[in-house]
Amino acid sequence: MTLDELRLHLAPLIADAAVFDGWSEEALDMAAQQAGVDGDVARLAFSSMAPGGRAMDMIGAWIEAIDIEMADALPPADLTKMPIRERIRSLVQFRLDAVRGQEEALRRALAIMAMPQNAARALRTGWHSADVMWRLAGDTATDYNHYTKRAMLGSIYGATLAVFVSDESEDKAETRAFLDRRIEGVMRFEKTKAKWLNPDRESFSVTRFLGRLRYPAR
């Protein structure tokens, strides 16, 4: 394997070990031992000079591995058969199911990503995952909708993760209900936005309204 392939191969094993040892050298050594990989080679695979150090490298690889697993399990050809809200719900739910049993590793990862020195890298990582989900869902927007959709999905996913790590209800029922409510709220917002921004709508025009604010009728 190349070092990039090794990173992705070790990442889920590191996450398992991080439940007990955190995102540490001990977790990396444990994963390498389980995979039959030389410890020095494993450390070399997570030795980038990016902000956040090795812990963020390991967390980033874990998230990337989930991105890839999600794309393999939910290809666009399958998702396009669903309504858009079900596509998004299915993608987010897949990610939650992928980390069931690793809640403590996730909790520790979120704490590390929230550190000021890691904020920029964490934001890029979250944006990438949101982008992957929207592309799988069939989104082809290139205007401002491209950015608003990803920002909203990133917000939904982040908030749902915060509920998920502390959810002790049966089969994570509270998390599922929370996710459904957030998606429903976004769907209502999108419908309202579409009505306001429809240039053919005679009853109200945002452009005309803003123009009148800037240049009042005399």
Q: H/E/C letters for each residue in 100-134?
A: CCCHHHHHHHHHHHCCHHHHHHHHHHHHHHHHHHH
Identify residue 66 by its one-letter amino acid code.
I
Domain 3-214 part of CATH 3.30.70.260: no
**When comparing pLDDT for 4 and 214, which is higher?**
4
**In this model, does residue 218 exceed pLDDT 70?**
no
| CA 161 – CA 155 distance, rounded (Å) | 10
Q: CA dist 142 to 17, 88, 127, 198, Å?
A: 40, 19, 15, 17
Q: Which of 117, 109, 192 is nearest to 158 (CA)?
A: 109
Domain regions of the chain by residue span:
3-214
| Range 32-55 average pLDDT | 89
Taking CB atoms within 8 Å and a gap of at least 24, the contacts of 19-23 are: 19/101, 19/102, 19/104, 19/105, 20/104, 22/108, 23/55, 23/58, 23/59, 23/105, 23/108, 23/109, 23/112
Task: Give the confidence band of 71 by pLDDT, cuts at 50, 70, 90.
Answer: very high
Q: How confident is the model over 102-138, as pLDDT tens digits? A: 999 999 999 999 999 999 999 999 999 999 999 999 9
pLDDT at 202: 47
| CA 94 – CA 193 distance, rounded (Å) | 28
Name every residue whose Cβ is closer than 8 Å to that of residue 88 and which is 6 or more positions away in sequence: 133, 137, 153, 156, 183
Any idea which of 49-63, 76-90, 150-164 has the lowest mean pLDDT?
Answer: 49-63
CB atoms within 10 A of CB 108: 22
The answer to whether the beta carbons of residues 125 and 157 sit under 8 Å apart is: no
Identify residue 156 by its one-letter amino acid code.
I
Any idea which of 8-12, 30-34, 197-201 has the lowest mean pLDDT?
Answer: 197-201
The answer to whether the beta carbons of residues 132 and 70 sit under 8 Å apart is: yes
Q: CA dist 60 to 50, 109, 125, 131, Å?
A: 11, 10, 7, 15
CB atoms within 10 A of CB 88: 27
Task: Give the confidence band of 96 by pLDDT, cuts at 50, 70, 90.
Answer: very high
